[in-house]
Structure 1
Amino acid sequence: MGTLYLVGTPIGNLADITYRAVKILKEVDLIACEDTRVSKKLCAHYEISTPLKSYHEHNKAQQTEYLIEQLREGISIALVSDAGLPLISDPGYELVVAAREHQIKVETVPGPNAGLTALMASGLPSFTYTFLGFLPRKEKQKQEILEKRMYEDSTLIIYESPHRVKDTLKTIQKVDKNRKVSLGRELTKKFEQITTSNVDDLLNQLQEGLIPTKGEFVLLIEGAVAVEDTSWFEEMTIVEHVNYYIDQDMKTKAAIKQVAEIRHMKTGEVYDVYHNV
């Protein structure tokens, strides 16, 4: 049987492609792509003469069956999207599932990803992030998802079209207008722009044309910061607070240190108050 290659392609700058990706695209028998017009430009740039076959959201049902038949007959196929990684908010999931069901070998050829590219330069926390892809178009459904997800301790990564980016920002504004948000556009291209600010400021910049509504957007939302519950000790004096831990068999020195940490004080200050220095 043939091999199905999942090949990452540039998200803007045509130079952002691996040697291996070009090699695979030249060696396979067929390239399945979202839009043949887009992929032709990439192929022409790297002198790739492999035949192209359209594979997109509207024909994936019939084309999946066709491509699986080709793979079973020994034809090797590379799956690419218009930009970035196949399957990541792009077609290909059904094809990969079918290939695995038929024990067809699936190989990945990594490449750029718009969401992570924007995250790297956004200045927002990158330790934990959640990829949401494209949000629903309907306002009610969009708000429901954001109300749920924006209260997680994770930077959210969203893809958005230039025609809907303002509306999505207004929805974010309804949920939490103080949250830091980053807009990335024209990534890896000459006029790349990644702007991080509050929602009000970003909407003003869009309105004034400082952030042009051209090209696909990556929208990043800062994760929620956990609010520390201090209600249980707010009524206690510092002495009472230290004694609370001592009563739980904690040494005096350790109790003083614990109180200082929780109250965001210096250990010496708590020590002086406790010992009435």
Structure 2
Amino acid sequence: MESGLYVVATPIGNFGDMSQRAVDVLRQVDLIAAEDTRHSRRLLQHFGIDTPLMAYHDHSDDRALRRIRGCFEAHESVALVSDAGTPLVSDPGYRLVRCVQDEGHKVFPIPGACAAVAALSAAGLPTDRFLFEGFLPAKRGARENRLQALRTESATLIFYEAPHRIVDTLEALVEVFGPTREAALAREVTKLYETIRRSPLSTLAQFVREDNNQQKGEIVLLVTGASARESELDADVASLLIRLAQELPARRAAAVVAEHTGLRKKQLYDYLLSLK
């Protein structure tokens, strides 16, 4: 094989999604650098691949990097794999790819499964523009601040989320984006207990809250982008308006915010109507 770093996508749950090219590359390279060798060894054993395996992630020490560099100095080839899916998509590898390129070696992408793209393809949400956000902050305040910054984004939003945080995240999405914003849950994609469900955020939150099985496994959350009307309002103004509308009639809430911001009352009232 040509010397270089081969970034190899692996299945996200179904071994049948492994491409023949990926199998061939993993058999022919001189070394495989894996995020978790215990996890990757099961994949290699399934396909009868006995290539030497080492652990590598973005926090690996200099010894790991020296071993990989040694391969390139000997004009050998190295494959990079993550636990599942495409490396570098919310997974380790970014620093290694930069280092390899900066030292004049080639990087070859071997495409395949990606949980975010697979979920998007089956979610039933707009796909012409999307924004991958990875994992939201674990702490409540930081998470809500990040969602506030995304509230007026018009592209479909894609998040990964941990099972033990999925209920809290959905409740935060309802609070910030409103109960009627359409969203989709894609859980255990390509696996035995795959779930793909699209509904308004409030309905989706209730579904997950009431079914403990939906709080397990690998989870992708997708949220429809803001409408043109939503995007016109500043995030802080929109948040204040929504909060007031929970306590006051929509016209009164719009009037109060208009008085304090100088915005047109009709614009604010129409915004509230668009959320219903």
TM (normalized to structure 1)? 0.78
Alignment of 1:5-44 (within 5 A): 5-44=6-45
Deviation at 1:32, TM superposition (A): 0.5
Shift of 1:199: 2.1
Residue correspondence of structure 1 range 153-164 to structure 2 within 5 A: 153-164=154-165
Deviations 1:22-51 (A, max 9, x none): 000000011100111111111111100011
In structure 2, the CA distance between the partners of 1:120 and 1:211, relative to structure 1 (3 Å rule), is farther
How many Å apart are 1:60 and its aligned residue?
5.8
SS across alignment from 2:228: coil
1:9 aligns to what SS in structure 2?
A: coil
Q: Aligned partner of 2:123: which letter? A: S
* Matched length: 229
Greater fraction helix: 2
Q: Is the 8 A contact 1:205 1:211 kept in 2?
A: no
C-alpha distance in structure 2 between counterparts of 1:132 and 1:212, whole Å: 21
AA partner of residue 118 (structure 1): A
The alpha carbon displacement at 1:109 in A equals 0.3
Aligned-residue offset at 1:207: 2.3
> Counterparts of 1:75-90 in structure 2 under 5 Å?
75-90=76-91
Distance 2:20 2:222 in 1: 30
Residue 215 (structure 1) aligned to one of 214, 217, 224: 217
Range moving further from structure 2, 117-126 or 50-59: 50-59
Unmatched segments (≥5 aa) in structure 1: 230-277
| Matched residue, 2:200 | 198
What is the Cα deviation at residue 171 of structure 1?
Answer: 1.2
More displaced, 92-101 or 32-41? 32-41
The residue that corresponds to 1:101 in the other structure is 102
Across the aligned residues of Structure 1 and Structure 2, the Cα RMSD in angstroms comes to: 1.8
Whether the aligned pair in 2 keeps the contact of 1:119 and 1:126 (CA below 8 Å) is yes
Tell me, in whole angstroms, the C-alpha distance in 2 between the residues paired with 1:170 and 1:207.
9
Aligned to 2:147, the other structure's residue is in SS state: helix
Residue aligning to 1:152: 153
Q: Deviations over 1:117-176 (max 9, x none)?
A: 111111110110001111111222211221111311100011111011111111111112
Q: CA deviation at 1:211?
A: 4.9
Q: CA deviation at 1:63?
A: 2.4
> Does structure 2 conserve the Cα–Cα contact (< 8 Å) formed by 1:34 and 1:56?
yes
Tell me, in whole angstroms, the C-alpha distance in 2 between the residues paired with 1:142 and 1:19.
40
Query: Which residue number in structure 1 is paired with residue 250 of structure 2?
Result: none
Which residue does the alignment assign to 1:117?
118
AA partner of residue 97 (structure 1) = R
Alignment partner of 1:225 out of 224, 227, 230: 227
Match of 1:256 in 2: none
Q: What CA distance in whole angstroms lies between the structure 2 residues aligned with 1:167 and 1:94?
A: 32
Deviations, residues 48-87 of structure 1 (Å, cap 9, x unaligned): 0011101124426652343223222222110000100011
Between 27-36 and 63-72, the greater mean CA deviation after superposition: 63-72
Indicate the SS of the match to 1:32.
Answer: strand
Deviation at 1:209, TM superposition (A): 1.2
Aligned 8 A contact 1:64 1:94 in 2: no
1:179 equivalent in structure 2: 181
Q: For residue 6 of structure 2, give the secondary structure of its aligned residue in structure 1.
A: strand
User: 1:232 — aligned with what?
Assistant: none
Asked if structure 1 preserves the Cα contact closer than 8 Å seen for 2:30 and 2:51, the reply is: yes
Q: Structure 1 vs Structure 2: percent identity of aligned residues?
A: 44
Change (3 A) 1:61 1:92: farther
Amino acid at match of 2:65: T
In 2 relative to 1, CA 129–62 (structure 1 residues): closer, same or farther, beyond 3 Å? farther
2:175 is the counterpart of 1:165: no
1:163 is paired with a residue of what secondary structure?
helix
CA-CA distance at 1:208 after TM superposition: 2.0
Q: CA, structure 1 residues 19+63, in 2 after alignment: closer, same or farther (shift >3 Å)?
A: same
- Equivalents in 1 of 2:57, 2:230: separation in Å? 48
- SS of 1:215's equivalent? coil
Q: Where does residue 91 of structure 1 map in the other structure?
A: 92
Distance 1:218 1:69 in 2: 38
